Structure 1
Amino acid sequence: MKHIQFIIYLMVITHCAVGQSSVTSLFSSNEKVGDKHFERLAFAPALDAYLLALKNNKDNDTLKLKIAESYRLLNDPESASKWYGEVLPQNAGMDAAYYIHYADVLTSAGKYDEAKDWYLKYGAQTPEDGRVKEKIRGIEDIEKLNKNEFEVSISKVDWNSEFSDFSPAYYGNEILFVSARLGKKKNLQDFKWDGSNFLDIYQVNDSGSVASFNRNVNGKYHEGPLVVYDEGRKMIFTRDNYYKGKLKTSKNGTTKLNLYYTERDSVSAPWGDPQPLPFNNDEYSVGHPAISDDGLTLYFVSDMPGGKGGTDIYKSEMKDGNWGEPVNLGEPVNTEGNEMFPFLNHDEELFFASNGHPGLGGLDIYIYDIIKNKKVVNLGAPINSNLDDFGLIINKKEGYFSSNRDGGKNHDDIYSFTAERPFLTNYIASGTVYDKTSKAILDNAVVKLYDEGGNLVDSTYSDKNGKYAFTVDAGKKYSIKADKEDYFPTELSFKTLNSDKGLWENDLYMNSDYGFQLIGEVVLKGTDEAVPGVQVKITDNFTGKDILTAQTDNAGGFVNPLEDKKPGDRVSYQIQLLKDGYLGKNFVFNHLLKEPGPIYLKEFVDLSMDKIEVGTDIGKLVDLKPIYFDLGKSNIRKDAALELDKVVKVMKENPTLQIELGAHTDSRGSAVSNEKLSDKRAKASAAYIISQGIDASRITGKGYGESQLINECADGVKCSEEQHQNNRRTEFKVVKM
């Protein structure tokens, strides 16, 4: 991959030695040739030489590791992992650097589980390296890093070439970018790293045609990346350490990268001669510029001494017309790995590439809020992939970035993208939608976010993995509702408190809608007349929870869906019906749910209600049988108690009901004795009802003797036993409702 030379120039190259105890010490001439190429960073010819050497020494683990290292530096993770895998698992005690290199290429190859094992092995030998924990966290969060997949659309731009194209930069309404495509011949050998062309800066105009950029900027060697600012009048760009016709090298003979500045009087004027920035150095690299909107703060990449990792991001501020001493951004931006390709948008959000933060593999692109200084956020898929992604620029919701994901082992392309929401989300409420019973993932569910006042904040659909995500504010109350065809809606509430990651996970579980629902219709007893406004309460006898509290509609109807039930379940409910002016009812409904569909209660229970008023005899409404007493006695017999229990039940179901219990006799015997006996029986019956938990103020007992005969059977009138029996009665009349 063409941008890799910048990474290697800007980092400390780690070329590991293999212990003599585990490999042969014999080296062929081809291997020595390969070593010389490798030392000069010419990895393509080094690889060729190592492969030739291996033909004559197939068991040489040293050669195999050198081949693996060459493939790694040529950014061919599949091939590199193959060769590491031939040596490392069979040899203990190897240099720990090989372990992390192996883990890195396994990650880039998408072999995350294997990579995790080798990160752990590396961490066991180098516990001081904080990258291990972050790398493993990235692997464990792979699904989360894919959460943006349905919110960002990308496409490869038309102006890519068969060579490496990367690092786009805004140039007014046009785009500049870096490319290894064939331009004007530089009269130099191919770049020794991988045999490709030297890099130049190219310009894409409004029509989409591509041309080589200004000759004052493009020189004999490498140029780019760059940044243009101050309304197109100023530019800072990366170039090999080449100035005034002389290419300089470090003490070890390596040409480093430097930053150069050029300006022009107007957008139509020519660019001036590039001038080096004051912190350039022959012994380390500085490059990859980004700049603030006011042009006073420059961000760049360097491997200068004192950094945190291989390459770090630094900043320098303009004071009195001069760039100040570079300052390392430190944590949380810089890691023990490599940070590079910074870009600063208008909101002071820093985008950069890194292989040190948790990611999908290779270089990933991250965002960091310079102002709030909170945390580094991985942009996730599809911006990032398991290979290298870098060089992002953005204007509002649209932009460009570079990647070698498209199968090219030494080939970068530029992609355009459109984001549906800002990348930097300080607080996220997310989760997965599941079938509650089977735990299957539910996609395409409508998920809505509401604020504390019940106002709709946002709406989305669960993606193919059942996932949803919303941007939220900290310290707020929200509710999330999910709806999907053939499922009952579900809802949960949460508060955005106490999350150090600014992430709240709320999974949603939805019950399948089998169509089970209790359907009732309350009517006046003995008629089809609907009774509206009846208070209906249904309680689940298994859980003790009320599942419905409602009123019947104008048609006397009520409906209660059974959301958590499935075929084969048994249900048991206590159903209560109450309405002023009607005798309340309370009964149990037990049922086995067989075929999906509604359950019509009228097929199983009596939902009719009796209308009552003052003077109504409750005994007639509840089919009370005659209450018998032993001759001349007033004690309550067992059969009488059973009938009085019916009255107790009615009074408990109708807590405002007050009753007078009246006892009557026939005309036989003296009127005085009949009145006394009936009064004793009435009071005994009332006392029994009170003993069953009815307040004494709600029932009174009174004996009427023979004073209220209901037929002509008075003293001296000859009547049948049945006629006399009709007068021997107990009445339970309503005196107050």
Structure 2
Amino acid sequence: MRSLPLLVLLLAWLPSVGQEQYEVFPTDIRPAAEDFAPVRWKNAVVFCSLREQDGIIDHRDARTGKPLADLYRVELDDLGHGKAELLSEAITSPVNDGPASFNADGDLVCYTRNRTIPKRLGNMNARMDHLGLFFSRLENGAWSAPEPFEHNSDRYSVMHASLSADGMELVFASDMPGGQGGTDLYRSSLRNGSWTEPENLGPTINGPSNEVFPFLHPDGTLYFSSDRPGGAGRLDVLKADASGGAPVFMPPPVNSAGNDLGFTTDAQHLHGLMSSDRDGLDRILRVRRSLAPFKDCPEQVMDNFCYAFKEEQDLLDPSLPLAYRWDLGDGTVIQGPEAHHCYEAPGTYTARLDVIDTETGELFLTQGTRTVQVERQRQAFILAPDTVRTGRPVDLDAGSSNLTDTDVDHYRWDLGDGGRSEGSVIRHAFRTPGTYTLKLEAVGRPGPDGRLKARCSSRRIVVMDRYKEEEDGVVVVTYQDARGLVRSFAYQELPQDEYALTEEELQDAQFTVELFASTERVALSDPRFLEIRKHYPILERFDPVRGKYTYSVGEAKDLAEMYAIYRKVKELQFMEAEVMMIHPEKLTDMSDLAFLTAQDLNRSLVRASNILFGYRDTTVMDAYLPTLDTIITTLNNFPELELVIEAHTDDVGGDDYNLALSQGRASSVEAHLLEKGIAATRIRGIGFGEQHPIANNSEAEGRRLNRRVEFRFHVKREEQANAAHD
């Protein structure tokens, strides 16, 4: 059996691999204080803080007048607004405590503290002021009494510990003699219950300047801070790979003109923490490794599950009672050697071409099978309405993205109006009318090679001016179904509804399910409509306010009936479909045009069945040009008006022929108006063929009425806005 050709190619957008960058985000730990050197501990963050404590005795640094450092904690999820709590009274001393480092299990801490605690703080001398490292274990929910590191000294400081994940390796800073200069980084290992003699990390890591605040990553990468030349500020963060290469400065905005220190990060070097005084006071920052945003964002495409099945080798003898039948694996059976079918959902289907005995209906032969893998487009998908109002919040949703090959870490949005945001679902209000390009980027976690990948998609959204006081956006309605259950769903009013409705007009309103809107016209034979046309006829309209062709199904006043259509449309993968309200046409007689204002004519329909054309001709007969002169006079009297010319036919002839004929006639009327000086930006001619009959085509009179030209007036959007604000 030959391969089964796809009716529509299913594209798999490849993830982009771009230039990496870092982003920093502030935290808001309460109450505000000077916080630095953060480190992860279980589901919390532990950090040093110079903050006031409740109590009678207030210990302060004699040189700065600030409180002494203590270790505090805040839940990781509360970094944006959390309240700091003392880590433990058991490891809190009257002198400076911190920074700290924990093993992977979180039951061993090594932290910095003044080596000696005097009976009176005022009696501290230089020897007592040296810092040392202390260990404590978490046992039965309580921290044990601190035990000093065996290489602490009263002649120099040993500080800023970084424990390995298993707690067997220790990297720390010290100004002990014999180093490269200033404060150097050292390593010690736990062997047989004792820590080995500290080993200087050597001139590749250390230099004449000061190296402090190390962080030993589980993969061997070493982060630390240094005041060596070449950085962006005073203390800068450097990174040294486990391969032993020379350390490099981390890029901005990790490093700044201030002191940047205490950098730590997760297993994938993706999310980290650090502290900086770049804004004047020490603050904790969240750090994220990411990609340069929105570098490759193709326009998102709609899912299409349509396939063509064909067997070109016809093996059947016409003299035999045998026939082909396709079993498409989802319950659909189609007679004949060819089949066109749209699957309703992704999945793996087995398509089988059977030969059937037509006399018995039984299977004679299975000529071939093919496994069909139906997949959604691999893309970041923006679920949003096509049209919104200025100042009205709209939800933008990334939840329908199909990114099975990407472990998404975060979503970020470029809103096209200068705004940016993050999250799977965001809410945004556009302030200015226009057409904006939304971009959604899904940034994945690093792959096996450690590199980040991202997928980005874009789509347009039209923002129209909200020029009236009434709210005309999403409306939630409820109804009771046949079983007595109360159901609800939302619909959004069409742009044509921007006028006050009388009670009578509201009673006459109908609903429709808009599948989508497009700036380009879509043929009704388009494969996207193949499956849904089996259930409903497609209704094409032109929305002059949005400047888009709309495609919808169903018209009903009954909400229960409309809800059933709405659910079926969603099942057929029109995920952006929404229920719209259609208001009754504001019909205007041609003879009344001279007596109406622009606002009277706004969204009105002038129906002209007396503009006739020759048989199969698109030229307007001279006898009917005075009718067009009335339209021209109206447009000249009201420069704020725009016009859509719609030409219609009866059902005599084929669909494609009638569509082309009507388009030619609409274009002919449009050309005549252009000749008379009407600007091209104010008019548009559209042929709808036999799609919108107003009478019965089975009767001669009905066919005559259906052969018509209609003129739809509307006030330009900016003019509507000005009228509303006057």
Write 1 or 2 for the structure with the bigger share of strand.
2
Write 1 or 2 for the structure with the bigger share of helix.
1
Larger radius of gyration: 1
TM-score normalised by length of structure 2: 0.36
TM-score normalised by length of structure 1: 0.36
